[in-house]
Structure 1
């Protein structure tokens, strides 16, 4: 129910309230993230991250190998940090785990593109600078890659009909199959090609009961969001939801089109790797932005017809 509930909320929210909410949350998340980097011990003792995940998510305390009281991926194996020379760990801020903070940075980028014309110059600068700070805080390699792609593609997508976004997911699936056939995907290695290979294998390994969402025992697909979603909801609902989200019309407004293309491309790029983007922590606001831009486009069309 998360997706329709927050889309409906977005259709009713006023633009000023949406901007105020996003800017306030962005500031709070950035400040807490900077506190975490400056005082990881104080942050850990305040939120007791290990205790939270052990008691509520079934994690094993021994899995938190990085040390301290932070999330288990607060360090990367072998020191593979983007800014390893700074001696920082991977921050998580209010999300308590770094991947969700990276997803939030992507959602913030989509919001900034969608609302660019209605943001003041100060708000635009704040969103750009704070998003960069969040990327450094979480050491988000995938988030950085997606945002850099958005910087190149979203200005172009403002001139592309938003319903063309329906092609993103099937084209990505075809690209992964082709990449595997050409030996481009590194089989089950701890890097982006390896994670994509895991996601493709997970989808291919599903039996009929899993595809229909009726299997009694669920398999853990932590690194394959689309397989996890399909076994929870069924392939019928997964395909139907993708079509419903992608085929809705947002009109010709550049901001609305960038929001639609950004959200659908974000889903397509991240679902083979993780289901974390569907968490309410980050997805709620993304669907609010979706609903807001859909309603804004519909209102513009109604006004045009009335004129």
Structure 2
């Protein structure tokens, strides 16, 4: 356990979290400053962060953890032999979540709460700087050139030639939230694009509404400020659902956490059945929350059994349909089995009310996010913090949970 007096360990974990969250901001600054190779460093840099987290968490010294990883790796490799288009990078997504969760179990909850506050404060600070002085911000962080160098956007797109931000930094038709006050710009902050800023804000909201720390409602409010700055429709909708779910009795919260993803997949199938025309190819008709949910449902409904078992690649890209992506690369039975085992473990045994609430919040977050995006839920810049927070509460049994005295010591 990384206790409040474990200064070196705390600083190391905090450094890993900051690097995981703001890695691309640093690489973008290096690229803008003239280091042309910076964009190509993101994969080895993420690998180094993950390796450091593995060492610090003790993952490699736990035979059970290593055996579990070996079994999953063998399964995915065998699946790849049957379906050559199966995406092996999904192993990285699973490993990231497990390693940072394991690292979280070594941390004191007072410390991770403080870390979440510090990171949110930093993200807000960079976001305000970006919004207040976009030209000055662009001198240090030319996001457009960075993503162009990574090959993620077309540098020849004429309609965006006069910007240094990501394409989605200005919403077509204007902002949805406080456009009259904030103008048309959507804040990207350390994440370089506003979608991830919104996802991060939703995760912070989930934590602060669940963990009963000092002045937590101030931090809930600051999370909402980040939602507004990013003009994230997903984060706004997700936070509303979380706020309602937080008021449920503990027994209902546990049940809802287990059923969140199966229920959402069922709803998507119903939507797909109502909207999909036989023989047609599913497409995103409108690039908004409703349009993406409709697309995700149609993709799932259009599949045959071999697609559900990951024995054949999806005939339609799943880049914007996360549940379909996981089902078609893991096999739907394995995907649901992993989810159910993780959730059942989390609701079993004596757990604090804070843990129960946060697990439900994460369930809602992943269930909704995977309905409108593909792999954004597994991005290190948000997933590392999410799983570390969950691990810290997961290691706290009822009777050994929130301790105001310990928290004051950790916050000192």
Q: Shorter-chain TM-score category?
A: 0.7 to 0.9
CA contact (8 A) 1:50 1:71 kept: yes
Counterpart-to-counterpart distance in 1, 2:302 and 2:272: 15
Residue of structure 1 equivalent to 2:97: 3
1:175 paired with 2:267, answer: yes
Within-5 A mapping of 1:1-307 = 1-63=95-157, 65-66=159-160, 67-86=162-181, 87-116=183-212, 119-121=213-215, 124-160=216-252, 162-181=254-273, 188-205=285-302, 211=308, 213=310, 220-250=317-347, 251-274=350-373, 275-297=375-397, 300=400
Residue of structure 1 equivalent to 2:406: none
- For the pair shown, the structure with the greater C-alpha radius of gyration is 2
Counterpart-to-counterpart distance in 2, 1:175 and 1:155: 23
Counterpart-to-counterpart distance in 1, 2:377 and 2:314: 23
Q: How many residues align?
A: 296
Moved more, 71-80 or 214-223: 214-223
Counterpart-to-counterpart distance in 2, 1:53 and 1:131: 27
Shift of 1:179: 3.8
Shift of 1:160: 2.5
Counterpart-to-counterpart distance in 2, 1:138 and 1:74: 8
Residue of structure 2 equivalent to 1:304: none
Counterpart-to-counterpart distance in 2, 1:293 and 1:216: 38
Unaligned runs of 5+ in 2: 1-94, 277-282, 402-412
Unaligned runs of 5+ in 1: 302-307
Shift of 1:166: 1.8
Counterpart-to-counterpart distance in 2, 1:238 and 1:228: 10
Shift of 1:48: 1.5
CA RMSD after TM alignment: 2.9
Counterpart-to-counterpart distance in 1, 2:338 and 2:252: 22
1:21 to 1:187, Cα distance in 2 relative to 1, 3 A:
closer
Shift of 1:136: 1.4
SS of 2:150's equivalent in the other structure is helix
Moved more, 7-16 or 249-258: 249-258
Shift of 1:226: 1.8
Counterpart-to-counterpart distance in 1, 2:291 and 2:256: 29
Counterpart-to-counterpart distance in 1, 2:159 and 2:253: 47
1:76 to 1:11, Cα distance in 2 relative to 1, 3 A:
same
TM-score (norm 1): 0.85
1:79 to 1:203, Cα distance in 2 relative to 1, 3 A:
same
1:178 to 1:85, Cα distance in 2 relative to 1, 3 A:
same
